[in-house]
Amino acid sequence: MTEDQTSFLTQLAIRAGEEILKIYAEPFEVENKTDGSPVTKADAAAEKIILAGLAERFADIPVVAEESVEAGNLPAVDGRYFLVDPLDGTKEFLKKNGEFTVNIALIEDGCPVFGVVSAPALGEIYWGGRLETDGSAQQVAFKGTIEAGSVTNVEQVAVRTPPANGLSILASRSHMSDETAAFIGQFKVAEQLSVGSSLKLCWVAAGRADLYPRLAPTMQWDIAAGDAIVRAAGGSVVYAESGADFGYHVPENATKDDLRNPHFLAVSDKTLLQGLAPAA
């Protein structure tokens, strides 16, 4: 991903977030998808902006986007495609706590090679992946502040060395389960944190937490952008059952159900998982 492409994609996420904030500030209606999950007109408005931008700049790369798939439009893809969640954390959007995000990820051969996650209501943006700088490519991740449509206060982020006095572990604000609590119970925990949407992955990448176990349903577009940022920051996203690196695939003649994720763990250091009972 070149610097110019990176700038385009971060700005695209910011523009989608600006449209979301317009709707966020006004009364809006809530509908339910076929699976019962909530959706608002902000989801569609943000996705429209993202799809138009990707079609303009990356016309040869297919896009798998949440609301389009919900409408029955799931394109055939090969090894390279975008995964888009125009508004991750709709429950947080409805609660008006600001913890929702815009996610854009590029997948190559099953691996997320670039991701951008913006949190428009919080004024935060994260991005990372295999980025070209001064003629060479390296895995790197960044965090910035969104101010008047631009990114300021940019700083490189990296996972932290797990502290000896106990871990900071993230649990979903909306999807905590007995299974997750039991898994967390295997660790020495200094603090248990809650935050919505793909911000949990970004917090691992930025060294604000050590582990995020997700033993509840998610879709590929929910996590791909955050996964790219975690990996670029030196961490890992792995299958909860096997510990192998997480992969992304859209099979031939796929349906929405084919894009559901197995349980996974985002971790700053894989050695934290050694000797544990496998998470189912």
47 is in an annotated binding site: no
66 is in an annotated binding site: yes
CA distances from 138 to 6, 103, 155, 224, 232 (A): 13, 21, 16, 19, 9
88 is in an annotated binding site: yes
222 is in an annotated binding site: yes
87 is in an annotated binding site: yes
60 is in an annotated binding site: no
How many whole angstroms separate alpha carbon 29 and alpha carbon 162? 43
How many whole angstroms separate alpha carbon 145 and alpha carbon 118? 9
One DSSP character per residue, 63-101 reads EEEHHHHHTT------SEEEEEEEEE-HHHHHHTSS--E
How many whole angstroms separate alpha carbon 170 and alpha carbon 12? 28
Distance, C-alpha 108 to centroid of its chain: 16
- Say whether 163 sits in a helix, a strand or coil: coil
245 is in an annotated binding site: no
Beta bridge partners, 130, equal 139
Summarize the annotated binding site for substrate as residue ranges.
66, 87-90, 222
Summarize the annotated binding site for Mg(2+) as residue ranges.
66, 85, 87-88, 222
Summarize the annotated binding site as residue ranges.
66, 85, 87-90, 222
